[in-house]
């Protein structure tokens, strides 16, 4: 879909690599620039989980890309990178603020020789202000953005989301910004400075909640809620409840008179909408005690015919076997030597189809030689660059 776009990605961890993977899935020619030892997610990754000698974190966010390994601190690094940048449409990076500027690869330096460049930067906290330049990772942003305060049991125990949601939302926003800038470039020929941050992503995840809080004149007391309720601004029973054999999510629909009658509870029937809102702690305690005696099958059989939305809480083993997930093709297996890694597919369909896996995540420096040849370097010059350790080439991977 965007096969004409060429991207040079100076990205590590998850946010930046995932953003460039979205573009690579859509057909962009994405080259990952890594240090000689490899990017963090290649070397270390999360939880130390590896297949063979490869980090599964790396495998999850780097498909459909090429890899060139460059020592950015080597005095000849610019000699290698400038012709690569001149041939690309987009430079992406999520280094700490100022890191690429020190290496002569900041926006102003690149724009000086490539005026129409799309230069996309993702930071933790933004490009200015008192937090600019400080390390910003998903958990810290969850904390500072208020997300932790509205997650968890709601009774004052602050809890983080169970997965780095800000990283992944930040990646999607960065990819969206690049696509918008690319459309502008195709129409006007102008480059764009694209800047996103994890802080903005963390707040964007809460767009409705924050608007309701500020515009409604709410206070900290309004956010406190029983742990079973899913959010502070939707009335019970909207939440997660422990049953005899499972946990169930109950959303809204149907009428609350039908809900209380279906559960056979005169206590619940005594609460009208105002009472459920004003006395939600009491209502929720009664509901929790009532539902603890039910199985999921019993509850679904009683509520679904009345138009209530109910779903069993799944764990990751359940998701792996979910028929709907399989029908949508949302998980894919990719080859890793003699093994196979299970990762998420691209999340959007185009004309009814998901973008295919064109190439598995690359070996470090797998494309160093061919990329330099395309940029105009001769064989002897490439050998010299490899010999002086400006670049690293995985010749065995390239031959394979």
pLDDT tens track for 252-284: 777 888 999 999 999 999 999 999 999 999 999
228 part of a folded domain: no
Task: Name the average pLDDT for the chain.
Answer: 95
- DSSP class of residue 89 equals S
pLDDT level of residue 396 (50, 70, 90 thresholds)? low
Total residue length of the chain: 400
Closest C-alpha to 397, from 85, 73, 60, 53 = 53
Instruction: Quote the pLDDT of residue 397.
Output: 56
302 part of a folded domain: yes
Q: Are strands 65-70 and 29-34 parallel, antiparallel or unpaired?
A: parallel
219 part of a folded domain: no
Residue 15: give the domain boundaries: 4-202+355-396
Same-domain check for residues 34 and 169: yes
217 part of a folded domain: no
Distance, CA of 80 to CA of 152 (rounded, Å): 49
Active-site annotation holder among 167, 278, 333, 338: 167
Distance, CA of 9 to CA of 390 (rounded, Å): 18
Same-domain check for residues 173 and 33: yes
Sign of CA dihedral 381, 385, 387, 392: negative
For the question of residue 315 being annotated catalytic, the response is: no
86 part of a folded domain: yes
Q: Which of 254, 285, 311 is the last residue of a domain?
A: 311
DSSP 267-307: HHHT--HHHHHHTHHHHHHHHHHHHTT--HHHHHHHHGGGT
pLDDT tens track for 49-84: 999 889 999 999 999 999 999 999 999 999 999 999
169 part of a folded domain: yes
User: 296: which 2 tokens?
Assistant: 């999921």
- Tell me how many domains the chain contains: 2
DSSP 111-135: HHH-TT-EEEEEESS-SSSTTTTS-
342 part of a folded domain: no
Distance, CA of 319 to CA of 314 (rounded, Å): 7
pLDDT level of residue 196 (50, 70, 90 thresholds)? very high
Instruction: Quote the pLDDT of residue 323.
Output: 98
Same-domain check for residues 54 and 173: yes
Q: Which of 288, 311, 334 is the last residue of a domain?
A: 311
Same-domain check for residues 160 and 19: yes
pLDDT tens track for 27-47: 999 999 999 999 999 999 999
Q: Are strands 192-197 and 118-123 parallel, antiparallel or unpaired?
A: parallel
Query: Looking at residue 60, which CATH number applies to its domain?
Result: 3.40.50.10540
pLDDT level of residue 230 (50, 70, 90 thresholds)? very high
Distance, CA of 91 to CA of 98 (rounded, Å): 15
Same-domain check for residues 273 and 158: no
Same-domain check for residues 85 and 176: yes
User: 71: which 2 tokens?
Assistant: 């020592």
Same-domain check for residues 76 and 144: yes
pLDDT tens track for 77-123: 999 999 999 999 999 999 987 889 999 999 999 999 999 999 999 99
Same-domain check for residues 178 and 251: no
Same-domain check for residues 254 and 391: no
Same-domain check for residues 130 and 67: yes
């Amino acid at each position: 879909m965007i096969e004409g776009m060429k991207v040079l990605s100076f990205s590590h961890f998850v946010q930046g690599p995932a953003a460039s993977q979205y573009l690579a899935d859509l057909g962009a020619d994405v080259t990952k620039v890594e240090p000689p030892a490899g990017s963090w997610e290649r070397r270390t990754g999360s939880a130390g989980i590896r297949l063979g000698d490869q980090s599964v974190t790396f495998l999850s966010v780097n498909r459909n890309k090429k890899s060139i390994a460059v020592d950015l601190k080597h005095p000849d690094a610019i000699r290698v990178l400038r012709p690569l940048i001149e041939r690309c449409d987009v430079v992406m990076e999520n280094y700490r603020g100022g890191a690429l500027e020190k290496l002569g690869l900041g926006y102003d330096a690149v724009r000086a020789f490539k005026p129409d460049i799309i230069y996309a930067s993702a930071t933790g906290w933004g490009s200015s202000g008192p937090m600019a330049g400080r390390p910003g990772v998903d958990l810290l942003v969850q904390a500072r953005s208020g997300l932790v305060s509205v997650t968890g049991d709601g009774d004052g125990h602050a809890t983080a989301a169970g997965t780095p949601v800000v990283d992944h939302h930040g990646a999607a926003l960065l990819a969206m910004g690049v696509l918008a800038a690319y459309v502008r470039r195709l129409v006007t020929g102008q480059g764009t400075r694209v800047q996103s941050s994890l802080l903005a992503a963390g707040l964007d995840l809460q767009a409705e909640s924050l608007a309701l809080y500020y515009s409604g004149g709410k206070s900290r007391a309004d956010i406190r809620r029983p742990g079973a309720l899913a959010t502070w601004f939707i009335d019970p029973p909207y939440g997660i409840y422990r049953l005899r054999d499972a946990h169930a999510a109950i959303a809204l629909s149907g009428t609350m008179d039908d809900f209380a009658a279906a559960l056979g509870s005169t206590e619940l029937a005594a609460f009208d909408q105002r009472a459920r809102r004003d006395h939600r702690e009491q209502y929720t305690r009664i509901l929790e005690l009532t539902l603890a005696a039910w199985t999921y099958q019993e509850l679904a059989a009683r509520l679904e015919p009345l138009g209530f939305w109910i779903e069993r809480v799944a764990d990751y083993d359940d998701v792996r076997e979910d028929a709907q997930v399989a029908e949508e093709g949302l998980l894919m297996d990719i080859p890793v030597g003699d093994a196979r890694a299970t990762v998420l597919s691209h999340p959007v369909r185009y004309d009814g189809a998901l973008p295919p896996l064109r190439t598995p995540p690359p070996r470090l420096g797998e494309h160093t030689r061919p990329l330099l040849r395309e940029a105009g370097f001769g064989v002897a010059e490439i050998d010299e660059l490899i010999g002086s350790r400006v670049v690293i080439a995985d010749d065995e991977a390239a031959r394979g």
